[in-house]
């Protein structure tokens, strides 16, 4: 099977308006060329994707990211699925590996601690290149680097520690904050010793102090 057909078959099984990352396409194609020099193969992948774009089988959301648009009843193609791209780029990859988590005012809103609805979603993500914050308008996000690498095992702990520290000084509008936090810990079966461990690893003194209060 040639490269064009391999890529086309891969894309055919992907649902419309689902992000198609060139790195995922390359990973799939590589399984057909075991042990071979993949430099030329990957160049062919780029050429195939450009051809498929010209054939209007796919559209390009941005560099390295494509999707199969749906035609609306108005005869227009759907816009790029930026909300899905945001999730895969910054929060979880397509293999289910966590690499980030929602934090800031959006997290407080999701937890029911505030009615504040921010314009941008704050995300702590391994994908942030350095310790600066970056506002990315097309995704309506502000990304920052987490204190420690985000994993499937620790992301819910890190979220809770961010709430306890509340470094963004978000106004909590409810009187049962402790009850909400207890319920979060119970619902997701978070281990208190692990909470302390991650609080120490991230040097989160505010969270440590609140954890001792919650433990009483």
Cβ(127)–Cβ(99) under 8 Å? yes
Return the H-helix or E-strand segment holding 101: strand 100-103
Whether the CB-CB separation of 58 and 66 falls below 8 Å is answered with yes
Share of the chain above pLDDT 90, in %: 79
Give 35's pLDDT tier (boundaries 50, 70, 90): low
pTM above 0.85, yes or no: yes
Task: Tell me how far CA of residue 89 lies from CA of 54, 66, 125, 141, in angstroms.
Answer: 25, 13, 9, 11
The CA-atom distances, in angstroms, between 51 and each of 17, 59, 63 are: 19, 11, 15
Strand partners for 60: 66
pLDDT given at position 34? 80
Query: pLDDT digit string (tens) for 103-112?
Result: 999 999 999 9
Q: Is it the case that residue 167 has pLDDT exceeding 90? A: no
Distance in angstroms between the alpha carbons of the first and the last residue of the chain: 65
Regarding predicted confidence, which is higher, 34 or 82? 82
User: What is the rounded average pLDDT for all residues in the chain?
Assistant: 92
Residue with tokens 């494509």, as numbered in its chain: 66
């Amino acid at each position: 099977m040639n490269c064009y057909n391999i890529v086309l078959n891969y894309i055919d099984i992907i649902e419309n308006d689902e992000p198609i990352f060139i790195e995922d396409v390359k990973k799939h194609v590589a399984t057909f060329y075991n042990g071979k020099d993949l430099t030329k193969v990957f160049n062919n992948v780029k050429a195939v994707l450009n051809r498929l774009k010209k054939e209007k089988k796919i559209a390009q959301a941005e560099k390295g990211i494509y999707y199969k648009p749906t035609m609306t009843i108005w005869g227009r193609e759907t816009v790029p699925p930026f909300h899905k791209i945001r999730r895969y780029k910054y929060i979880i990859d397509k293999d289910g590996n966590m690499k980030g988590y929602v934090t800031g005012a959006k997290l407080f809103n999701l937890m029911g601690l505030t009615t504040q609805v921010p314009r941008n979603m704050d995300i702590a993500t391994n994908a942030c290149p350095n310790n600066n914050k970056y506002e990315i308008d097309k995704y309506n996000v502000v990304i920052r680097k987490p204190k420690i690498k985000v994993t499937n095992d620790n992301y819910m702990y890190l979220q809770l520690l961010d709430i306890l520290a509340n470094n963004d000084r978000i106004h909590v509008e409810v009187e049962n904050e402790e009850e909400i936090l207890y319920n979060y810990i119970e619902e997701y079966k978070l281990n208190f010793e692990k909470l302390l461990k991650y609080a120490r690893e991230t040097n989160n003194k505010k969270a440590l102090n609140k954890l001792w209060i919650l433990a009483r």
